[in-house]
Amino acid sequence: MPRPAPAQFVYGSATTVLSVPAVLLLSGARSGAAVVLVAVAGLVLGLLVAMSPAATGRTRGTVAAAGPVDGAPVTARRSPTARPGRRTAADRVLSGRPTRR
């Protein structure tokens, strides 16, 4: 299981700290059992936020899924120097597969 980034810990903690008092104030919970239930629900919510996958800049396949702006079909041109059977970077982008780095 991947370890959460420090920002994810901050988001989870902030979610717990801000959601529990808000729910307690809005619900008007007065009994001990209701307060414990709200606190546990806030901790679970904070844990879910902290362990959710971090959003990266671009998702896989965004370029290929976007398609052409004017509605024209996308055509890939092979480089005249490309070796037969070897895929170019343009082929990988158009197929939605990531390029090597």
Residue-wise pLDDT for 24-75, tens only, equals: 999 988 899 999 999 999 999 999 988 887 665 555 555 555 555 565 666 6
pLDDT at residue 4, as a whole number: 76
- 85 domain-assigned: yes
Domain boundaries, position 90: 62-95
| Domains: count for the chain | 2
Q: CA Rg, the chain, in Å?
A: 24
Contact 17, 45 (CB under 8 A): no
Q: Report the percent of the chain where pLDDT is more than 90.
A: 31
Is the overall model pTM greater than 0.75, yes or no? no
In a domain, 88, yes or no: yes
Is residue 16 over pLDDT 60?
yes
The answer on 45 and 10 residing in a single domain is yes
3-state secondary structure of 47: helix
pLDDT of 30 reads: 86
Please report the pLDDT score of residue 82 as a whole number. 58
Q: Write the CB contacts of 49 (distance below 8 Å, at least 6 apart in sequence).
A: 8, 11, 12, 15
Quick check: is 20 in a domain?
yes
Say yes or no: 46 and 15 in one domain: yes
Q: How many residues does the chain have?
A: 101
3-class state of residue 76 by DSSP: coil
